[in-house]
Amino acid sequence: MHALWNHVLANCAVILFVILAWTNLPQGKTVSDRREQLKLGAFFGLAALLVMTRPIEAAPGIQIDLRTIPIAIAGFAGGWPGALVASAMAGAYRLWIGGQGAIPGFSTILGFAVLGAVCGMLRLRDRFPFGAIFGFSVLVTVFDLLIISIMPEHDTIDALRHQMAIWAGTIFITTYFASLSVQAELRRRDIGRTLKTYEAVIQSLPESLNVKDEDGRFVLANQATAKLMRVSSAGDLIGKTDFDFYPPDIASAFQADEQQILAAGTARLVEQKITWDDGTAIDLSTLKAPLHDPDGQFLGLITHNRDLTEKRRLQRALLESEKRIKAALSNMADGLIMFDANLNVVFCNEQYRSMFPLTADVRVPGMPARQILETAMARGELTGIPPEQATAFIDSAMSRLKLSGTVEFPIYDGRWVESRTTPLDDGGCLVVCSDVTRAKQDEQELRELNQRLSEMAMTDSLTELLNRRAFDATLATELERAQAADLRLSLVLIDVDRFKAYNDTYGHTSGDQCLRQVAEVLRAVARRPGARSARYGGEELAVVLPNTTEEEAIRIAHDLRQRIRDLSIPHMGSEKGVVTASIGVTTLCGSADRLLTSAQFIGRADQALYNAKAAGRDIVRCWQESNQHFDRPLQARG
């Protein structure tokens, strides 16, 4: 009987040895890969062959061993391909041995291969849950006991039947722990593939990303970090600190920042500057954050560096060219998401999810990109898209994920996001998202500044009326419009009487104040739609009056003259005793004026103004086609 259990233990050792050899094979893509299934079936078929070389002669021509365990596991872990290879190897060997039990033995091999494959199909998608392994082990044990129970009477078989509980325990324990070993290896391979995915994501980032331990030594770095620190590869950084690469003062400053962040235990965005010995300077926006495992244990300090050197250069250039604004570029922590060839999420970081708080719960691995977009539309995170255009928008966005490019779009809380898409060789894509809200605001501020500068270029700084250039452009536009549509257009020229004498008597400061008061009168009186007041030059002012007849223009001119006089500004250098104004008026009318130029039109008003001054000043004169100039009586306001 001891020989029986020695053979059994030898069988168990063979099975465990083959499993150990299989775990040291180079791994393929996944366990569902056909080559991996065939390879697994071959190894467990080999295990069956080896245990069959150490059989127990239960009866003449009938052998008992643990071949059923590796054959069943081949089907359970490797599916039908694994079951087919293992059963073919073991079955062929059993038929080659021959004997009374050849056909039943071959049938038993096929039966356990089918049992394993069926159990493998019925198990959950998770990698060998413990309940499934337990149930599988029970089935293998039960079927093995059934086979022993139908064997013919023999001393060895009878002895084995008397110790059926021990035999059943041996079968169950061997099957269970062998399956657990396979499970552990498959989980290890899954983790290895996941780590490779994470490494690909990190290495594909265009900006520096690295992790340091609590002593400041690099434990992980991408190639962008190596480029930033002027070394050939990221591997040259591992195990070293900033003091091995940067000048001491810079390394000390970086270390101080990191110690503060570690002490606070929270992420922090800082601005750093690197100045190399050759004088080259790099401005960095650096996001540093403590990294912990799910149990809260400290893993390292993660650092994301963004090179701001070029942006700062552009900022300085903008300051020099505009000289009126200070452009501020915001520091942005990028969000990253990776899609596979079917546009399902493979990976996304927390920065990306935090950019989209309304849909953060669906921006997770395994989620289709289309479902993310549909959820964002349904929850109102994406704005400015009419409901009837939602499907077309989503289709367009899905198409853009296959192409390299950059798009900007607003979201619900007023922020703007820039999305940069990079196709990958495997058919998937990498999308980097940045918050560009501040940049958008800077653009708006620049547009507003340009608008203000444009207005300043058209405005007289003293009177805040239109300047001469703006007046000429306005008059030309209104004259062309009036001539084209046969509309009335009037022009009023105002000259402050004896203004040089006023300046000589009261000084230029008082003269400037006088002109401001006269300009206020123009703004108060010339309120007609489209009316534009201007400082024509020196003490001369002008008012362009679209859609205004001659009678209406003369009324306005008289009103202006009287209101200027009513200011009662003392003027000892004038025969009137107060500041007054002479005014010339001209009006465009009739087809005869269709070819009149701006210069000719101004000349008419200027001639009328000259006549007003020649007639004694403080007078309104109107130019007439008959070249008769007269003073229209001032009608009472009312």
Relative to beta strand 429-435, strand 620-622 is unpaired
- Name beta bridge partners: 187: none
What are the structure tokens assigned to 76, written together? 């359970």
11 pLDDT more than 70: yes
Interatomic CA distance for residues 3 and 137, integer angstroms: 25
Q: Which of 14-23, 211-220, 496-505 has the lowest mean pLDDT?
A: 14-23
Cα 433 to the center of its chain, rounded Å: 1
Contact by Cβ (8 Å): 137, 39: no
pLDDT at 605: 92
- Helix (H), strand (E) at residue 637: none
For residue 98, give every residue at least 6 positions away whose Cβ sits within 8 Å of its Cβ, in sequence order, or none.
Answer: none
Label residue 244 exposed, middle or buried (CB < 10 Å: 0-12, 13-18, 19+). Answer: middle
pLDDT at 291: 80
> SS3 for 303-335, per residue?
EEEEECHHHHHHHHHHHHHHCCCCCCCCCCCCE
Is this structure's pTM higher than 0.85? no
Interatomic CA distance for residues 159 and 40, integer angstroms: 35
Contact by Cβ (8 Å): 273, 306: no
H-type alpha helices, 98-210: 102-122, 130-149, 155-162, 164-204
Relative to beta strand 62-64, strand 56-59 is antiparallel
Exposure string for 440-473, b = 16+ CB within 10 A, e = fewer:
bebeeeeeeeeeeeeeeebbbeebebbbeebbbe
SS3 for 494?
A: strand
Q: Give me the residue label for tokens 């030059």.
A: 537
Q: Which domains does the chain have, with CATH numbers?
A: 2-196 (1.10.1760), 205-307 (3.30.450.20), 335-435 (3.30.450.20), 459-622 (3.30.70.270)
What are the structure tokens assigned to 625, written together? 């086609």
Contact by Cβ (8 Å): 235, 243: no
CA atoms within 13 A on the CB side of 575: 4
> For residue 492, which of 557, 552, 540 has the smallest C-alpha distance?
557
- Helix (H), strand (E) at residue 238: none
Contact by Cβ (8 Å): 329, 441: no
Kindly name the residue from 478, 539, 552, 625 that is annotated as catalytic: 539
pLDDT at 123: 64
C-alpha pair distances (Å), 513 with each of 53, 170, 416, 462, 560: 119, 112, 48, 9, 18
pLDDT at 543: 93
Number of H helices, E strands in the chain: 19, 17
pLDDT cut 90: percent of the chain above it: 18
Q: Which of 316-320, 405-409, 497-501, 587-591 has the lowest mean pLDDT?
A: 316-320
394 pLDDT more than 50: yes
SS3 for 631?
A: coil
What are the structure tokens assigned to 396, written together? 């367009």
632 pLDDT more than 60: no
For residue 377, give every residue at least 6 positions away whose Cβ sits within 8 Å of its Cβ, in sequence order, or none.
Answer: 385, 390, 393, 394
pLDDT at 568: 92
pLDDT at 329: 25
128 pLDDT more than 80: no
Relative to beta strand 581-588, strand 620-622 is parallel
* DSSP labels, 511-552: HHHHHHHHHHHHHHH--STT-EEEEEETTEEEEEEET--HHH
Using CA of residue 112, residue 116, residue 117, residue 118, what is the dihedral sign?
positive
Cα 467 to the center of its chain, rounded Å: 47
Among 12-26, 108-122, 342-356, 437-451, name the most confident range. 342-356
pLDDT at 435: 85
Contact by Cβ (8 Å): 242, 254: yes
Q: What is the dihedral of CA 5, 7, 11, 14, to 10 degrees?
A: 120
Q: Which of 28-32, 82-86, 255-259 has the lowest mean pLDDT?
A: 28-32
Q: Mean pLDDT, the chain, as a whole number?
A: 80
Q: Which of 170-184, 364-378, 395-409 has the lowest mean pLDDT?
A: 170-184
450 pLDDT more than 80: no
pLDDT at 158: 60
Establish whether 539 is a catalytic residue.
yes
Confidence of residue 423 (pLDDT cuts 50, 70, 90): very high
Summarised one tens digit per residue, pLDDT across range 185-198 is 777 777 777 767 77
pLDDT at 618: 93
What are the structure tokens assigned to 228, written together? 């930033």
Neighbours of 117 (CB within 10 A): 23
> For residue 546, which of 591, 479, 473 has the smallest C-alpha distance?
479
pLDDT at 69: 84
pLDDT at 629: 43
Summarised one tens digit per residue, pLDDT across range 552-574 is 999 999 999 999 999 999 998 88
pLDDT at 517: 92
pLDDT at 634: 38
125 pLDDT more than 50: no
